[in-house]
Amino acid sequence: MQTKITEISEVMTHFRDGMSVMFGGFMGNGSPPALVQALLDSGVRDLTLIGNDTGFPTTGVGPLISNRRVRRLIASHIGTNPETGKQMIAGEIDVELIPQGTLAERIRCAGAGLGGVLTPTGVGTTVAEGKQEITLDGRTYLLELPLSADIAILKATQSDAAGNLIYRLSTRNFNPLIALAADYVVAEADEIVAIGAIDPDAVMTPAALVDAVVRN
């Protein structure tokens, strides 16, 4: 089986201005710091970030916000990073807030090749603005469309050389979902082991979904 261990310099060749980046993590826990730093070092700008939140100003994907590399953000909340709120109020970043469950399902839809998901969450609120409403059995739902990205950056506890991934505890969060929904998927791993060293039953993201693995 072919190894997918890659130098960060090679991953950086996939970066470009204006691309969409889907990231794992919850308040920074489970976000890949080396890959975030690589995005900063590459100088790319006008990014669209897609993930649960923007961490804190110096953790998670927060540094991308603090260094004004982001043009658009799609997330479920921004409260832990005051810099995000400041830029949103100033009109310097376009923020789309999505209920957390809806965000997860929109990503899942993209990965599964579905046309969307029906949810009652957000009906009658600002979340419904500009969205199609569908009534079934007397109940109104919003049609939420799939959400995908150019690149997904994951943080794994362990990977084998083929790209089979394991996450520890809550670092799992959005990482398995986003691995399904991007054109190019790169994982940053705390530990890389030989192919065959991970029990197949323990794999949380299979190698078939991962294009590259970099060391933390």
> What is the Cα–Cα distance from 58 to 21, expressed in whole angstroms?
18
Measured distance CA(38)–CA(22) in Å, rounded: 15
Token pair of 205, please? Answer: 């993201």
111, pLDDT greater than 80: yes
- 193 forms beta bridges with 160
The whole-number pLDDT of residue 166 equals: 97
pLDDT of residue 28: 85
Q: pLDDT tens digit string along 64-73?
A: 999 999 999 9
Distance of CA 25 to the CA centre of its chain: 8
Residue 216: the pLDDT is 79
Question: Is the pLDDT at 175 greater than 80, yes or no?
Answer: yes
Q: Which long-range contacts (CB under 8 A, 24 or more apart) does 125-130 make?
A: 127/97, 127/98, 127/99, 127/102
112-146 per-position pLDDT tens digit: 999 999 999 999 998 898 999 999 999 999 999 99
Give the model confidence (pLDDT) of 55-90 as tens digits.
Answer: 999 999 999 999 999 999 999 999 899 999 999 999
Q: What is the pLDDT of residue 79?
A: 87
Band (170; pLDDT cuts 50, 70, 90): confident
| Total number of residues shown for the chain | 216
Strands (E), 45-126: 47-50, 70-75, 94-97, 117-119
Residues 15-42 have a mean pLDDT of 95
Assess whether pLDDT exceeds 90 at residue 18.
yes
182-193 and 212-215 beta bridge pairing = parallel
Structural domains of the chain, with CATH = 8-215 (3.40.1080.10)
Give the span between the Cα atoms of 6 and 163, in whole angstroms: 11
Amino acid identity, residue 144? Answer: E
pLDDT at position 76: 94
pLDDT of 172 above 70: yes
Above 70 in pLDDT, residue 1?
no
Under the banding of pLDDT at 50, 70 and 90, the label for residue 24 is: very high
Q: Which helix (H) or strand (E) holds 23?
A: strand 20-23
pLDDT at 196 over 80: yes
pLDDT score of 13: 95
Q: From CA 11, how far away is CA 9, in angstroms rounded? A: 5
Helix (H), strand (E) counts: the chain = 6, 11
Task: Decide if 167 contacts 30 (C-beta within 8 A).
Answer: yes
Question: What is the Cα–Cα distance from 162 to 54, expressed in whole angstroms?
Answer: 30
